[in-house]
Structure formats: C-alpha cells, structure tokens
Amino acid sequence: MLLREKMRQIKLAPAERSLIDYLLDHPSAMFDQTIKELSEKTYVHPSTFIRIAKKLGFDGWVDLKKAFNEEQTYMNSHFTDVDANFPFSSHDGIMTIAKKIAKLEQTTIEDTLSLIHHDDLQKAKQILLNASVIKIFGSNANTLISQDFVLKMRRLGKAAIVCDTFGESAYEASNCSKDTAVILISYTGENKMTKVVADILAKKQIPMIGMTSIGENTLAKTSDCVLNITTRERLYSKIANFT
C-alpha cells in the first residue's frame, strides 16, 4: 500500500490529522521545511511528528521523511500522461480511449521494470527452479493473470496450479509439501485470506514469492522474496484494475 494511502486511512487525533492533511496537500513541504517551520504553520506541537511516525510504523520522523521522499520520486516517474485510476473520460471518442489504454499498458510495463531488482528476480527464479510444483494464490483479476502464467509453465514442463476455489485457500496451503514453491499475489498485501495463507506457509517453511505493491505490508514482511508490482491505483476510487 502506498504511504499516502495509509496516511489517508489511518485513524489519527485531530491535531495529527491536521498535519497529515497539510502534508498530503503540500508534499514538498516535508522536505522544504523543518519540523519547527511545519509546527508553526500547522499549529501542531513538535512531539506530534514523532507520534505520527510511530503510528505509521516508522522509528521516527527521519525514517518517515525518507520513505515519503522515495514514494514521491516513484510517483513522479512514468504515468505523466495517463491516470491509472481514470485513464479516459466519458467525453473521449473510441479511438482516443483505445490510445489511452494502449499508453496505460505500455507505461505499466515500463513502471514495473523500474521496480525490478536483479537480486530479487534471481532469487525468485531459483525458488521456482528448485520446486517440483508451483502454487499460486490470488483473487479476482489476479487469478486470471495467474492462469496465463500456468499455461506458460506447463509448456516448459513445469507443474503449476492456481488455487482459485473460494474458501479452500487455507487447505491448499496446509497441504503444500516442502518441494512446493508458492506465489502470493495481493495489491495491498493485507488481504485477509492472503495473510492466513502466508502464516500457514511460513510455519511450514514453504518458499514464498510475494507480488505486492511498494511500501511495507504483511505479505512483503512474510515472503522470502518480494517482487513489487505497479502501485498507481487507489483502493476504491477507480474505474477498474487497469495496471
């Protein structure tokens, strides 16, 4: 989950919310202004900054500031011409819509590539190579994408299964043997069933590849290897899962 999304959703005291709202409206202020300057501008006591950082899961304001800066840098790269949440409007013609969707697909690939690190990709590859069978856990649109991956694996002679039967994920996880590699896909990394499955697999010491958004979340912490996916969509205010 994006840090800015977490900032919007987390429960805060009025003074804390006032500061967070100011930072979301003026993101550059976190870097251009000191705590003292921000405190004077928002009428918030300096100690509030530390409390907010702790509530967001950071050791202190410096760590929060660094994470926010990295996210801002990421958000300002790619996707300059198209909004992943609303890539077209009701006034666009069909060819304009087609071009915007094509641009969105192209930009998503570029953005995903920018999030891939050699060592993580190498580790994921080795986990899959060492496995006799690959099990994939996801939901909704992620299940459809997984089915395409399964077909490709089967052409390579690699056994792969999508665990898509509703309510059976925990049983599938419990039945995994040591020679199984698991891919868990969750945009937020906080999906209830995903966390249950990850917990079962961790106890059984089954190798896990987590595919999730940037930033800290439960799936990222639990997985042996994390491959980040494009993190541009808001959780609710969007047309569909385009990216």
Q: What is the model's pLDDT at position 243? A: 73
First to last CA, the chain: 14
Which of 3.40.710.10, 3.40.50.10490, 3.40.50.300, 3.30.70.1450 is the CATH number of 118-228?
3.40.50.10490
How confident is the model at residue 171, as a pLDDT? Answer: 92
Residue 57 has a pLDDT of: 86
Tell me, what's the pLDDT at 41? Answer: 87
Residue-level pLDDT at 142: 83
Arch. (CATH architecture) of 3-75: Orthogonal Bundle (1.10)
What pTM was estimated for this model as a whole?
0.77
Domains of the chain, residue spans:
3-75, 118-228
Sign for the CA dihedral angle at 118, 121, 124, 130 comes to: negative
Q: Do domains 3-75 and 118-228 have the same CATH topology?
A: no
Nearest to 149 by CA among 166, 137, 165: 137
Q: Is the dihedral of CA 53, 74, 27, 84 positive or negative?
A: negative
On the 0-12 / 13-18 / 19+ scale of CB atoms within 10 A, 99 is middle
pLDDT in tens, the chain (243 residues): 778 888 888 899 998 999 999 999 988 888 888 899 999 888 999 999 999 999 998 889 999 988 888 888 887 777 777 888 889 989 999 999 999 999 998 988 998 999 999 999 999 999 999 999 999 998 877 888 899 999 999 999 999 999 988 788 999 999 999 999 999 999 888 888 899 999 999 999 999 999 998 888 899 999 999 999 888 877 777 877 777
